[in-house]
Structure 1
Amino acid sequence: MSTTSGTIVSAAATLHCPHGGRAASAANAHAAVRLDGLPAHTASDAFVVTGCPHTVDGVPHPCTGVRWSPQPGGVRLDGVPVLLHTTAAQCFSAAQVPQGPPVVDAARRGATCR
C-alpha cells in the first residue's frame, strides 16, 4: 500500500512551469470544499500555463498545460483525487511534449493530508 502526504493544493497555491511560466486552473477548483476560504483542486481540474519563455534552438516551445498523476488510494472529493503539493505532475507543450514538472508553492495553510 502506498501512502502520500502533503499540503492540499487550493486556489491559494502558486504554480509555475519549470521555466517560470504561470500555471492556473482553467476552471474553478472544487468550490464545495474550501481551505482557508479558498476552493481545493482535484485531478480533474485543467491547468493552463501562460508566459512560459522556453525555447529550443531559438524556437519558442512554451509550456501550455499541466497534467497531474495522483497515486491511487489518496484523499478524494466526489471520487476524484485531491491534488497535494507532492502529487506527481508534468508540464507539456502544445504538441504534448513533456517539459518538466511544475513548481508548486502550496501556501502551507489550511489542511494537510497524512
Structure 2
Amino acid sequence: MSGHSGNSGNLMSGSATLHCPHGGRAFAASAPTAVSLDGLPVHTASDVFAVTGCTHTVDGVPRPCTTIRWSPHSDSMTVDGAPVLLDTTHAQCFGAGGLVPQGPPVVSVTQQGVVCR
C-alpha cells in the first residue's frame, strides 16, 4: 500500500456489508487484490461491484440497481495502483442502463482496527 488517504474512514475488506438504498445486496464480483485484512481481500476502486435483489421501481416498472461506482479521493492510499475503498468513499448505485444514479450504497464495516486518516 502506498500514499495517504484524503479522507478518514475504515478500510473496506471482504467483511464489509454493502446494500443499495433499496435493500439489494452488493458484492465484489471481480478478482480480489493480493492485500488482505484478517484473511479477507481489501477492496479497491478497480473492483467491480454487482447488486442483486434490488426492489427499486419507477412508475411501477422495475428499475433495480445492478452496479456500484466508487469515486475515491484523488490522493487516496493505493494497492497495486488502485485507490483503496473506505466506508466513507463516495459512491453511487446504478441500474442496468448505467446512466442515472439511483442513490448511494449503504456500507457497514466491521471495525478491524485499521483506520485510514
TM-score (norm 1): 0.94
Residue identity opposite 1:26 in structure 2: A
Instruction: Name the CA distance, whole Å, in 2 between partners of 1:62 and 1:36.
Output: 32
Deviation at 1:37, TM superposition (A): 1.3
Deviates more, 1:86-95 or 1:103-112: 103-112
Distance 2:101 2:21 in 1: 11
Aligned to 1:65: 67
Deviation at 1:28, TM superposition (A): 2.9
Task: Flag as ranges the 4+ runs of structure 1 deviating above 6 A.
Answer: none
SS at match of 1:99: coil
Gaps of 5+ in 2: none
Match of residue 20, structure 1, among 2, 19, 23: 23
Instruction: Identify the match of residue 95 of structure 1 among 94, 97, 103.
Output: 97
State the 1:99 CA deviation. Answer: 0.0
Whole-angstrom distance in 1 between the partners of 2:115 and 2:17:
17
- Map of 1:111 onto structure 2: 114
Distance in 2, matches of 1:38 and 1:111, equals 13
Deviation at 1:3, TM superposition (A): 2.6
The number of equivalent residue pairs is 112
- Structure with more strand by fraction: 1
Letter paired with 2:114: A
Alpha-carbon RMSD across the aligned residues, in angstroms, is 1.2
Q: In structure 2, what is the equivalent of residue 10 of structure 1?
A: 13
Normalised TM-score (structure 2): 0.91
Contact 1:71 / 1:87 at 8 angstroms: preserved in 2? yes
Cα distance, 1:29 vs structure 2: 2.5
| Structure 2 residue 56 is matched with structure 1 residue 54 | yes
User: Aligned letter for 2:56?
Assistant: H
